Amino acid sequence: MSERVSVRIDDGIARIHVDDGKVNALSAALMGELDAALTEAEAAGAVVVLSGRDGMFSAGFDLGTFRRGHDATMEMLRAGAGLILRLLAFPQPVLTVAAGHVYPAGAFLMLSADARFGAAGPWRIGLNEVAIGLTVPSFVVELARHRLSPPGFTRIQSAAMFGPEDALRLGYLDRVIEPAALPGEVDAEARRLRALDLTAFTGTKARINERAIAAIRAAADAELGTPAC
C-alpha cells in the first residue's frame, strides 16, 4: 500500500497497520491511504483488524494542517467525516486495536469500529479538542452520542482524557487486555468475527448504525459545506 499504511490479507482477515514513524497524525493524505486499504479489504471480503504503532494508535488530526488555512482544514475534516461514515457502513466487521495513546481523530476511528480492543498501560484515550482550543465538530458529537455512555458523552466538553480502564467504562473500548496477551486475543476475536454470517452481520450493523450515519452525514454536510462521502 504505502510506507505508512500496510495491508496483509490472510485467511479472510485484513490486517491494516498504520505507522508513520512519528505519532500517526491523521492528515487528509494519510486518511486517503487508509481509505484505499479499506477498499482492498472490502474487495477481499475480509474482516478488518486496524492497528497503530506501539505506544501511539494516533495523535489525532494533523495539527500542521490547521495552520495551513481554511481550505486545507476543510479538506482534512471532510476526509475524517468520510472515513467515519465509511467505517460505520463497512460491510465486513472492523476491529480496532490500540496499543498506546488515542487522541481525538484516533478516537473517531475507534468509535466507528464494530469492536475495540486496547492494551493495558499508561495510555490516555479521549476527545480533548477543547483543551487545545478547538470546538468539537458537530459530526464528532453525533458519533460520540452514538457510541459513548452518557457519562462519557458529557465529558467531551471538558476535554477529559482517560486511562484504558476508564475508557472501557465510558465506551471508548470494549476490552482492555494485558499487552502480552493482546495478539492472541486479537487473533481469536478476528476469527470469531470471520465466522459470523456476513449477510446477517451486515444487515444488523446497518440497522444499528442507520440513525447515527444519517445524523453524522447531516452534521458534516451542514458544517463542512460539502456533502460527506
pLDDT value at position 227? 53
| Domains defined for the chain, CATH in brackets | 5-224 (3.90.226.10)
pLDDT computed for residue 225 by the predictor = 81
CB 88 within 8 A of CB 209: yes
Dihedral of CA atoms 177, 16, 81, 24 in degrees, nearest 10, equals: 80
The string of pLDDT tens digits covering residues 79-117 is 999 999 999 999 999 999 999 999 999 999 999 999 999
Specify the pTM: 0.95
Q: What is the pLDDT of residue 228?
A: 54
Longest Cα–Cα distance in the chain: 46
Q: Note the pLDDT of residue 109.
A: 96
Q: Do residues 49 and 186 lie in contact, with contact meaning Cβ atoms separated by under 8 Å? A: yes
Work out whether the CA dihedral 79, 80, 86, 89 comes out positive or negative: negative
Which of the residues in the chain have pLDDT under 50? none
| pLDDT, position 3 | 84
